[in-house]
Structure formats: C-alpha cells, structure tokens
C-alpha cells in the first residue's frame, strides 16, 4: 500500500510537470507497465483529480481543470522559487497582484519546512528591491499569453505602437520577458515574416486564439539578448548604417550586444546598423572603436563627421 501511494504521488507530480504525457512515457518514468499506469490514473480520478485521457497513437494523459485546485507537489528548489516569486510580485508590475501575492505567500510560508523558510528569508533580507516605474499589466493578459506560448497557438491582437498608431497583428507567440520594468512578448510576426518584440501593456488579445503551429527555431542570439537589443534599438531617435573596415569578428568583440546589428560584407568589412539619441553621440562612440569606417546611410552623420574633421584640422594649425 505504501509503495502504491508513493507511486501515485510521483505520477501526480509528473502530470503537474508537463501538459501531456503518453502512456509509455509515464510507464518508463515510473518503472511500471502501461496497465499499471492506467490503474493509477483511475485511482487519481477516484480521489478527485481530473485526469484527461485521449486514445490513439498521439494520445496520452494530462491533468485537467477541476472544480478545486488540487494539492501541488513542489520540490525544494520549486518551493523556494515560488516563495521568492510571490514576494517579488507583491511589489511588482502586475495590476492587482500585490494583495493576492501576500495572501498566497502567507499560506506557502506556513507549510514550508524550516530549512526552506530560512533560505527564503535570507534571500529576502539581503535583496534590495528597486521599485519599477513601468506600466501595470493585466494579469489575465499575461496568463493568456503564457498559455498560447505553452500550447503553440497563433494569436491575433490589437496593438498600439510607440507612435500611437493602432494595428491588428497575427503572430506565433514564443516567450514572455520582463525587462526594465516592462513585460514583452517575443513572437514571430506572420505578416512581416520576422521576429518581433511587443510590449504587453500595449496589446489586447483577441479571443479565441488561432490554430496550433509548429515551433520555429528561436533567434540564434537567444531570447534574452534579442529582447535586450530590440528594446534598446526601439528607443533610438537617430539611426545610421556604417561600413566598418574590419572583419565582423573584430568589430563584434569591441561592441556590446545591444550596440547594433552587424552584417558581414566580406572578409575585411561589415555593416553596422546602429543608433543613438543624436548623430554626435553616435560619432563619438564610433571613434572609440579605433577602426576605419565610412557612412553608408545617414546624411546627418556625414555632417557630424565633417564638423569633427574640421575641428581636428584646426587643432593641428
């Protein structure tokens, strides 16, 4: 009986871990037969857990939504992560989550073992929160976006751009990111046929969501770097294309990831698409590269180069 109970708890933990499991996968993880898995699923159902089953080759099991929240099985690292996340959410940027997070945190800390409670309190004591100044987002919107990312479902939404124009976008959503006090959705824009970053506080999802899609390869630089670069370049007021007369590997070693986009021309030169608040600031930054360059696109930058060249020429007189 003890062995069966322990296996049921392990099965419940697996069902909470992933959205869908096949029978053979569960049998392998539990070290039992698929028949035993079916029997254990029935036992969980008799205890009130809504376990859905789908037949066929692509069939399997998943934990469905019930009338009440079933007990969650968390290991030590998961319990600490949830507690820290709740404390962060209590002063975070999700609208209406402060009071709810405090209540949930009180319930969790009440049942945490002393060793885990000590870890959470230590982390909280020696962490200084910096209040964000970003806009609040609707938690239901975050939940919707997280669900479509998880289930690989297309999404249509109304979006207000930085310039104030409104449009309807259709995307394949992949990840949510939190950066500098704002939430962002990383998605593949089907109309522009390219990756895009959208501010969550500016979008309104259209329900129901679209059909499922086959996931693409994420941007090679990684989601975090892509969002960081996209957010940084979005704030540029001035943009320019510069040809740098050095191999791409040399230029990339001297530039931070958020400084711009490099495109190789040949073995000895590459394009740098960059920007700044004004042309003079960008020119000063280019001078620090200590590499030869020419302005490919941006007449404003050409004027700044002429002014700086004249100033240096006067310094030599």
Q: What per-residue confidence (pLDDT) applies to 314?
A: 92
Query: Please, what is the Cα angle at 27 between 26 and 31, to 5 degrees?
Result: 120
Residue 22: Cβ-neighbour burial (10 angstroms; 0-12, 13-18, 19+) = middle
Q: What per-residue confidence (pLDDT) applies to 169?
A: 93
pLDDT tens for the chain, 317 residues: list them.
547 778 888 888 788 776 678 888 899 989 999 899 999 999 888 888 888 888 876 678 888 766 455 666 677 787 778 777 777 666 566 666 666 777 777 777 777 788 887 877 777 776 666 555 567 777 778 888 888 888 889 999 999 877 678 899 999 999 888 877 778 898 999 998 888 889 888 999 998 888 889 989 888 777 777 777 666 666 566 778 889 999 999 988 888 766 777 888 999 999 988 877 778 888 888 888 889 999 887 788 888 889 988 988 999 88
| Sheet-wide strand order for 238-244 | 260-266, 269-276, 238-244, 293-297
Which residues have CB under 8 Å from 78's CB, separation 6+? none
Structure tokens at 94: 């999700």
β-pairing, 51-54 vs 60-63, is: antiparallel
């Amino acid at each position: 009986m003890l062995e069966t109970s322990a296996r049921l708890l392990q099965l419940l933990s697996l069902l909470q871990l992933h959205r869908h499991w096949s029978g053979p996968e569960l049998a392998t993880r539990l070290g039992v037969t698929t028949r035993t898995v079916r029997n254990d699923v029935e036992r969980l159902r008799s205890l009130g857990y809504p376990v859905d089953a789908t037949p066929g080759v692509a069939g399997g099991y998943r934990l469905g939504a019930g009338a009440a929240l079933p007990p969650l099985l968390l290991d030590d690292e998961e319990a600490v992560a949830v507690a820290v996340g709740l404390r962060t959410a209590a002063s975070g940027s999700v609208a209406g989550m402060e009071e709810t997070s405090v209540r949930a945190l009180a319930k969790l800390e009440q049942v945490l073992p002393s060793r885990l409670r000590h870890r959470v309190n230590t982390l909280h004591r020696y962490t200084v929160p910096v209040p964000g100044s970003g806009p609040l987002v609707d938690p239901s919107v975050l939940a919707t976006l997280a669900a479509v990312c998880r289930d690989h479902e297309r999404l249509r939404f109304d979006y207000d751009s930085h310039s104030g124009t409104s449009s309807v976008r259709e995307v394949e959503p992949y990840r949510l990111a939190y950066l500098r006090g704002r939430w962002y959705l990383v998605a593949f824009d089907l109309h522009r046929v390219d990756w895009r970053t959208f501010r969550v506080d500016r979008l309104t999802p259209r329900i129901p969501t679209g059909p499922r899609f086959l996931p693409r390869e994420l941007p090679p630089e990684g989601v975090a770097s892509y969002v960081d670069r996209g957010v940084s370049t979005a704030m540029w007021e001035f943009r320019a294309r510069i040809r740098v007369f050095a191999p791409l590997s040399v230029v990339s070693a001297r530039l931070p990831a958020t400084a711009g986009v490099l495109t190789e021309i040949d073995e000895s030169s590459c394009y740098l698409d960059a920007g700044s608040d004004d042309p003079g600031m960008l020119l000063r930054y280019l001078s620090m590269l200590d590499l030869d360059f020419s302005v490919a696109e941006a007449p404003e930058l050409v004027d700044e180069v002429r002014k700086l060249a004249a100033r240096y020429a006067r310094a030599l007189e």
